[in-house]
Chains A and B, each alone.
Chain A
Amino acid sequence: MLHGCLSPLSRSLRRSCSLSTRAFSITQQACQHQENSYQLGNEDDSTSRKEMSRRDYRFIFPEFLPDPNPEWRNAVRERLERKDMLERREKIEIPEFYVGSYLAVTAFDKNSPHPNKMSRFVGICIDRGGTGLRAWFILRNSIEGQGVEFMYHMYNPTVLKIEVLRLEQRLDEELYYLRDAPLEYSSVPFDMEPEILPEGSTVPVNTKVVPLNPRPWTQNWERFQDLLSGYSLHNPFPTPGKIRKQMRWMAEGNDGWQLQTLKFDLMRDYRNTVPAEEQAQIWEEVADKLEARDKQMRRVATKRAFI
């Protein structure tokens, strides 16, 4: 939708099928597909902890992995882009967050009424994407009864601060159905205080299921039920015969036709992921700086907490 080329349907298909085992925080979907989808190397006991944690970087820093399309790949460009990204990360903290987390972004806005020309927006992250310097995310909130969405580029130098108010995951990788849900499900209070998770804990998964509003909808949500599990169509409203049939079929626990083909499509998985060897090279290149920066930010955070 937003990229102009892929619908949310195909994008979520791509992502859900490339999710592999993760030490912590596995979504319901990934659980479902774990045994079926291609795994990037089986974990032996002999695998070092360091390597395992670096394998998880593909979830924490997904924009460092390049777009897998081989027509656009170039080693020199990717290297220079990563260098720029690391330089920007030295200037501001770009924290770990997932779709479903609550974020607050302070950005420079030359049209802002405030004398310091800053504007702060708080919202729930409904989607994130882009690779390299193009990485973006969308925050959604309700302001005076009106749903509002903001898209921010993560490496935009006018973005002054990105705070994670609540770090959590949802059942889906995209939450565009919140546009067709009651506004209370998209509301995040502007004065919310950051909720700090204890050190070393896993990222919690919020299994909330959002009931949708009556039709009309922005998308045909009855068709996405096999891929997105974070919403429900249990509102009583008249549905045409075919759709009711489909809903009943889904309710009985049958996989939709898309999943039935996709879970066997290994080549599709392969085309849509960066090979594990290349990923390892990339993390080797950037992990030291990222870890050093992370340590630095923790020191600053603990100092602040102490004060």
Chain B
Amino acid sequence: ALSGSSPAVSGLHPTVSGLNPATSGLNPAASGLLPALTSSFHTSTQLDSRIKRSARHKAFWHIKKLNKVPDEPITGENQAFIRDYIDHKYNGPLKEEFTPWARGSWEIGSRRPGVLAIKIGVVPLWLKNGKRIMTTMLQIQDNHVVKFTNRADYERTHMGERDNTPIYTGPMRKKAENVVGFITVGALSTDPQKYTKDYCGLFTEAALMPKRYLARFPVTENALIQPGTPLTAAHFTPGQFVDVYGRTQERGFQGVMKRWGFAGMPASHGVTKSHRRPGGIGSGCDKSRVWPGQKMPGWVGGLYKWHKGLRIWRINYEENVIYVSGVAVQGAVGSVLQVCDTKLRAKRWESLKKEGLTDGPKHFPTAFEESIKELPEEEYFEKVHQFTAPSITTV
């Protein structure tokens, strides 16, 4: 899936498994150090709730982004000079053009980069059959392609090694054969004075201002985009499906009923002081202890999760806003999300016969300047009722 990058600092990174045998660098099963799987040796799968897949700390290889050595007090004149310099550096005359990269065409199995979007709110839309749907608005603010990392370089990093290490119980993270590398996308340019020199250095190759958020997406060869290319809402097509990855809302320390869906106990009928408590936590004589991973109260929320198969109903090219299904997009209003083409088999491009999108996205690998100029202000999926259209009088 989408993983935090190795040298690039990522504000969004997937959960780190506490159980991955790769952390030791060895494959214990292969080396014969562990006994064979037996029913009493309860190893867990990815879905096993006993092992909590939560990590809220930054990975150890992340470079320092904001822990900058504080500058000496600078005079007003010098501050103005620095601002001018920054302005000249990033907004000045372009360097001589280097050969633009070739642009591929879509085929089944292509993987192209996604974008970083901000959740701006939830709004209802109506379909042409009169049905009301709730949609989340995601705004794609100031996205640029920052870097391309080829597969060989990636596989030498910590994440690459982890991806290639086999897991006993669960799907491998190894990427498909046609993935040639990873494209890093950045969102929201900010003042370089806030960041360390190392972090700003990530963007010099692409001649971009440092970005507040970064994300990395695996890509196939036909979907390579040159660093420095802006990504907009036109990257997507109305009617397609997307996967959204982001951090869920924080809910604080919660009890077992909210955290794990326990049933609790009756409110009356003699129940003493135990209406929302877990009840029993042990199992009996054989394993007369509390098993690791016993569901208990704890912190809820703030985890990175995938929300898959959300349809794009409407795109506003002026404001770079896409409207996706549902209200359950992770995070509060203002949170950052990674949005990319869906991997669900039934909702991939080649399965979208009814929508007429079996030839892939309208703009592949993304909409470039010349296409963006010709776009209308807004575009709707055919099932959506447009407010400029007359009232619905037939189904």
Question: Measuring CB to CB, which residues of chain A are less than 8 angstroms from any residue of chain B?
Answer: 71-74, 76-77, 80-81, 84-85, 87-88, 90-92, 108, 110, 116-118, 132-134, 153, 155-160
Contact = CB atoms under 8 A, between A and B. Distances in A.
Contacts of A88: 387
Given A76-B139, A80-B319, A157-B389, 15 more contacts: A74-B334, A76-B319, A76-B321, A80-B321, A84-B387, A87-B388, A88-B387, A92-B391, A108-B393, A116-B393, A118-B393, A134-B123, A156-B126, A157-B126, A159-B391
A155 B130 CA distance: 12
A130 to B, nearest CB: 10
Q: Which of A85, A91, A116 has its CB near the most chain B CB atoms (within 10 A)?
A: A91
28 contacts: A71-B333, A73-B333, A74-B333, A77-B121, A77-B123, A77-B137, A80-B137, A80-B316, A80-B319, A80-B321, A84-B387, A88-B387, A91-B388, A91-B389, A91-B390, A108-B391, A108-B393, A110-B130, A110-B395, A116-B393, A117-B394, A133-B124, A134-B123, A134-B124, A156-B126, A157-B385, A157-B389, A157-B392
Interface in B365-385: 385
Nearest to A109: B130
The 6 A-B pairs of least Cβ separation, nearest first, read A77-B121, A87-B387, A74-B120, A158-B130, A88-B387, A77-B120
A272 B370 CA distance: 46
Contact of A91 (B137, B319, B333, B391): B391
B275 interface: no
B392 A108 contact: yes
Contact of A133 (B123, B392, B394): B123
A72 B121 contact: yes
B380 to A, nearest CB: 12
B132 interface: yes
B264 to A, nearest CB: 21
B188 interface: no
Contacts of A74: 120-121, 333-334
A158 B319 contact: no
A134 B134 CA distance: 10
Given A80-B321, A133-B123, A134-B124, A160 B393 contact: yes
Contacts of A91: 387-391
Given A74-B120, A76-B120, A77-B120, A156 B333 contact: no
B332 interface: yes
Nearest to A85: B387
B337 to A, nearest CB: 15
B66 to A, nearest CB: 25
A160 B395 contact: no
Interface string B103-124: 0000000000000000011011
Nearest to A110: B395
A160 B395 CA distance: 14
Nearest to B141: A76
Contacts of A160: 391, 393
A25 B388 CA distance: 34
A160 B392 CA distance: 8
B392 A158 contact: yes
B343 to A, nearest CB: 28
A156 B131 CA distance: 9
Contacts of A90: 388
A81 B125 CA distance: 10
Contacts of A156: 126, 130, 132
Contacts of B387: 84-85, 87-88, 91, 155, 157
